Amino acid sequence: MTKFTVKVLTAEGASRVFTRDADDERQLAVHLVGEHLTPIRITEQDGSLNDLLSRPVTFDRRVPVRDVALFCEQIGAMVGSGLTIEQALQVVSRQRGKRPSAAMARRLLPRIQAGSPLSDALDVEAGMPRYLPPMIRAAEGGSRLAEGLETAGRYLQRQASTRAEIANALTYPTIVLATVVVALLVVLTVVIPGFEPIFAGEEHRLPGMTRIVLWLSNLAVNHAAMSLFWLCAAVFAGLLLQRRSARFADWLAAATRRLPPVRLMDQLNVSRVLSVLGMLFQSGVEASEAVLLAAGAAGSKRLRVALEGASRQLREGGSIGTTLETVRVIPDETCALIEVGEHTGELGKTTLRAAQLLERDTSEQLERMLALVNPLAIAFLGVVVGLVVGGVMLGILSINQLALRS
């Protein structure tokens, strides 16, 4: 499937820009009209530089995950009590104050009244988590919308809690690192230049550490603009090479995946996909179709492409457990648990359980890793300050010793 950038007019006359996968432009246009959207522009994303520069710049603010979770739980509870989606949205939209859930309900209500299902209405909503519409679509397909909304709300609450914990854990080391950078710039641009006259003419006799400090000071004072320019040029060239060269992109992706934080974020992404997949299985969706829909919840292109390939294998007659083993990002023990559920007839329940276990294990590993960030940041501060001060002091001592010998 091809990814397109779409600009549409909604039923209430608002302009929206989003991305959508489709086989071709005609199929996508027909699908958009069926959702009561008026296509204005449909552009294929080919990844070229011209494509990147021609994409529209949007300033839609992403809706906080915690607010989306509250919205899903509210609507799910009302639908479970017997209200229709339209009635539930009307109730939420009448909430007082500037609540994001009320504003969201007011935007969704005209689309629901025009006949769109909730999943399609959320798909057009700017700032929605990209994995939410497939989860809701799975619940709609199995006539379990209330349960699906509440499950999505609980899942989003866990996501929000995990993000908050990570942000809180990284606040202190971020402040420490920012302080190190500012202090280092002040020392290199203000303090070190004051010592340079002392070392004038004797640079070749200075210790290596002192020469490094003086070189850094000269770079920061006299060549900062040029260094920043070459750094930006190198980053831009790397990004361009990544898009142009598939071999370089694969090498960079493989190298990045070896980093523990990236590996753990991949596991969280897999747990999210498996949560959607479990809901689809519980809703009675056929296996290959379920895997293809769950691919829409993937946060990375690599995982999405792998799941699309797994969907094709399932259509050719492969078993679910064996097919998911070909998706290398999914751990072997997770695939084994899903295969057990396939043999026992509880595939949906077992897949959800596997997703929860993977998410919990990954969260525990993240907590242990984040616990090391604070002492590492303090150690880094000490090393940087020690190297700069040590370099200056060694230089002064070496000059004094030379003066005494002469």
Q: Which two tokens stand for residue 310?
A: 């797994």
Cβ-contact 43, 54 below 8 angstroms: yes
Banded model confidence at residue 243, pLDDT cuts 50, 70, 90? confident
3-state SS assignment for residue 117: coil
Q: Whose structure tokens read 């396939």? A: 342
Contact predicate 299/272, CB 8 Å: yes
Instruction: Calculate mean pLDDT across residues 284-296.
Output: 80
Residue 62's pLDDT is what?
A: 61
Could you tell me the two tokens for 401? Answer: 């010793």
What is the predicted pLDDT for the residue at 49? 46
Q: Which string of b and e fits 345-367 if b means at least 16 CB within 10 Å?
A: eebbebbbbbbbbbbebbbeebe
Q: How far is residue 38's CA from residue 284's CA, in Å, rounded to a whole number? A: 32
Q: Which pLDDT score is estimated for 97?
A: 63
**Which residues neighbour 92 within 8 Å (Cβ) at sequence distance 6 or greater?**
71, 74, 75, 78, 101, 102, 105
Confidence (pLDDT) at 53? 47
Is there a contact between 270 and 371 (Cβ–Cβ < 8 Å)? no
Q: Does the pLDDT of residue 57 top 50, yes or no?
A: no
Report the percent of the chain where pLDDT is more than 70.
88
Tokens of 158: 């866990």
Query: Does position 314 have pLDDT exceeding 80, yes or no?
Result: yes
Residue 61 has a pLDDT of 54
Would you put residue 45 in left (φ > 0), alpha (ψ -120 to 50) or beta?
beta
- The pLDDT-based confidence of 312 (bands split at 50, 70, 90) is confident
**pLDDT tens, residue by residue, 189-242:** 887 887 777 777 666 777 778 888 888 888 888 887 888 888 888 888 887 877
Longest Cα separation, the chain: 97
Model confidence at 368, pLDDT cuts 50, 70, 90, reads: confident
pTM (2 d.p.)? 0.65
Q: DSSP string of 282-302?
A: HTT--HHHHHHHHHTT-SSHH
- The structural domains of the chain, ordered by start, are 2-54 (3.10.20), 65-159 (1.20.81.30), 260-370 (1.20.81)
Strand partners, 43: 5
Q: Tens digits of per-residue pLDDT, 349-362? A: 898 888 888 888 88
pLDDT at 359: 84
- The mean predicted confidence, pLDDT, of the chain is 79
What's the N-to-C CA distance of the chain in angstroms?
79
What is the reported pLDDT for 203? Answer: 65
Residue 126 in contact with residue 18, Cβ under 8 Å? yes
